[in-house]
C-alpha cells in the first residue's frame, strides 16, 4: 500500500473552474507539503503545514489555497483555475524528528484548458 496517496491522478478542467486535489498519508508524519513541477523549472513549493494548526505559504502560493483537515490529510485548491496552472502536482510528507527527509506521493497531472 502506498504511504502517500493523491487523488485524482489525472484531471482535465476548464479555465475558471474550482479544483481540489487531495492528499492522504499513512506514514504518521506531522509535516505535509504541496509542490508543483514544470518542465525546465523543477519542483517549487506551494504551501506547507507543520501541523494541523500551522499553514504556511511557499514560493508560489498565489492562486492556491490549502486545508489541513487532519494530521493525515492535506488538500490543495485552485479557486479559479487558469491555463498556467497546468502542471504536475506532488504532495509530500516529512517527520520533524528526521531532519528534512521528505517523501513524495505519486503526483496529480492537472491540465487547465
Residue (40 or 70) nearer to another protein, CB: 40
In sequence order, what E strands does the chain have? 4-7, 10-13, 19-25, 31-38, 42-51, 54-57, 64-70, 73-78, 87-94, 102-104, 108-112
In this structure, what C-alpha cell is assigned to residue 23? Answer: 492528499
The answer to whether 55 contacts another protein (rule: CB under 8 A) is no
Residue (101 or 113) nearer to another protein, CB: 101
Which of 63, 94, 67, 95 is CA-nearest to residue 79?
A: 63
Tell me the closest approach of the beta carbon of residue 102 to another protein, in angstroms.
Answer: 6
Kindly tell me which residue out of 22, 61, 73, 104 binds another protein, with binding defined by CB under 8 A.
Answer: 104
Tell me the closest approach of the beta carbon of residue 58 to another protein, in angstroms.
Answer: 7
Q: Which residues bind another protein (CB under 8 A)?
A: 4, 31, 33, 40-43, 45, 48, 50, 56, 58, 90, 94, 96, 99-107, 109
Amino acid at each position: 500500500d502506498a504511504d502517500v496517496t493523491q487523488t485524482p491522478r489525472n484531471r482535465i478542467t476548464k479555465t475558471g473552474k474550482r479544483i481540489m486535489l487531495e492528499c492522504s498519508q499513512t506514514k504518521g508524519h506531522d509535516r505535509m507539503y504541496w509542490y508543483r513541477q514544470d518542465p525546465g523549472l523543477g519542483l517549487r513549493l506551494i504551501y506547507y503545514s507543520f501541523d494541523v494548526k500551522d499553514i504556511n505559504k511557499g514560493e508560489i502560493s498565489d492562486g492556491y489555497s490549502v486545508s489541513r483537515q487532519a494530521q493525515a490529510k492535506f488538500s490543495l485548491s485552485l479557486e479559479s483555475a487558469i491555463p498556467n496552472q497546468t502542471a504536475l502536482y506532488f504532495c509530500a510528507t516529512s517527520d520533524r524528528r528526521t531532519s528534512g527527509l521528505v517523501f513524495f506521493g505519486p503526483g496529480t497531472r492537472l491540465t487547465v484548458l
